[in-house]
Structures are given as C-alpha cells and as structure tokens.
Amino acid sequence: MTDSALREQICLLAKSMFDRGLTGGSTGNISARTADGGLLVSPTGTSFGRLDPGRLSRFDSAGILISGDKPTKEMPLHSAFYDTRSTAGAVVHLHSCHSVALSMLPDIDPDNFLPPLTPYGIMKLGRVKLLPYFMPGDPAMGEAVRGLAGKRSAVMLANHGPVVAGKDIEAACNAIEELEDTARLTLLTQGRHPRGLSDTQVQALVTKFNVEWSA
C-alpha cells in the first residue's frame, strides 16, 4: 500500500471509531507500518475524528521522525509491540468506556482479562493481558509490554484503555473493537450467570484458527 493510501485509511478508520464513541476528545492513538519499514503515527493531542493525513508523524525505518507533527506521547507502547512482534503491522490504543470500566472491577484475572463469551473475542484477540495502572506517557508501559516477549497481541491498561497490535491497520481496528464489545457484553451480563464458551469450545477455536493462547 502506498503512503498516501495508508494515510487515508488510518484517518478513515480512526474517524469511524471516534464517530461511534469508541474514543473521545483527543484520546487514543494509532500507528501503522509503511511499505519501506517506517511508521505513520497519529500526532500528540489530536482527535481521532479530525486526523489530517498530511500531518501524521512519519518515521523512517531507523525510527527517526522525518516529517509531520510531533507523535503521540504513547510512542513507547507502539514501539514495544513493533519491536517484540514481527507480525505487527499496526497498533491501536483507545480509551473505550466499557473496557476501562471492566478494568476497574475486582476479581478480574490479569492473565485473561476477558471472559470467553463469543468465538470472535477468542479468534481476534487471543488471551488479553491486564497490565497495572501507569501514568499516561510513562515509558514503563512500553517496558511492561516488552516484558510479555511478544506473546500477547492485546493488552488492557488498567484505568486507561486497551492496546492492540494487528497484521495491518484494518485487522488491529477490528480486533480492538471486538475487545470493547466483549467488555460491554461482560458488563451487561454481570451477575446473570451467562453461558460462556466451555474450555473445550475455546480450545477448538484456538486449534482451528491458530490462536495465540499461551499464558
């Protein structure tokens, strides 16, 4: 994909998520790998609803900013995924309401943040890791992701928001929307003893769709 087409796709998908309330104000950030091994990244302080394709931060393959505005302060998060997951072609971070609400509740399993309610939550996300709270912009968030050694494509930052890596920008956006939908389903059914997927059903999905499911 050309730089121009990728810029347009990033802004189109970001606006779609903003318009549907998945992240508001100037929250969230998004990045994608370019054909030459560089990165296009949303600038700091920008709204997903009003990203300008021509002002996205452009990094070369050596990680040097060569054009565009100053990038998001959450670059350590993005870099950690790209550096530890060779399959990562895009990274998305949102402040989506239901997933953040779920991260605040007690008795959440930090190694498996989302209950197995639907097949698509398993297929698109694998096992989601709940990370502790960090101050926004703290480089320690990136170090926490690096500590997972590339074993997770999705993490949840407690009291903050989800971060998902995908093979490309569309896959990453689809996956993070699935994360938010599953969190919403979890809250809607909390205390009602929902019939989730059994261990056998989960394992069948993991096997058939080659899902990363290691602890």
Name the one residue in this structure whose structure tokens are 């009003």: 50
163/157 Cα distance (integer angstroms)? 8
12/1 Cα distance (integer angstroms)? 15
Tell me what pLDDT residue 185 has. 98
Question: Active-site residue numbers?
Answer: 74, 120
Q: Is residue 195 part of a domain?
A: yes
Question: How many independent structural domains does the chain possess?
Answer: 1
pLDDT tens column, 31-80? 999 999 999 999 999 999 999 999 999 999 999 999 999 999 999 999 99
Q: What is the DSSP letter of 42?
A: P
Host domain of residue 180: 3-208
141/148 Cα distance (integer angstroms)? 11
pTM across the whole model: 0.96
Among 189, 198, 180, 205, CA closest to 126:
205
186/175 Cα distance (integer angstroms)? 16
Tell me what pLDDT residue 177 has. 98
Q: Is residue 46 part of a domain?
A: yes
pLDDT tens column, 144-157? 999 999 999 999 99
pLDDT tens column, 16-36? 999 999 999 999 999 999 999
Q: Is residue 214 part of a domain?
A: no
Q: Is residue 52 part of a domain?
A: yes
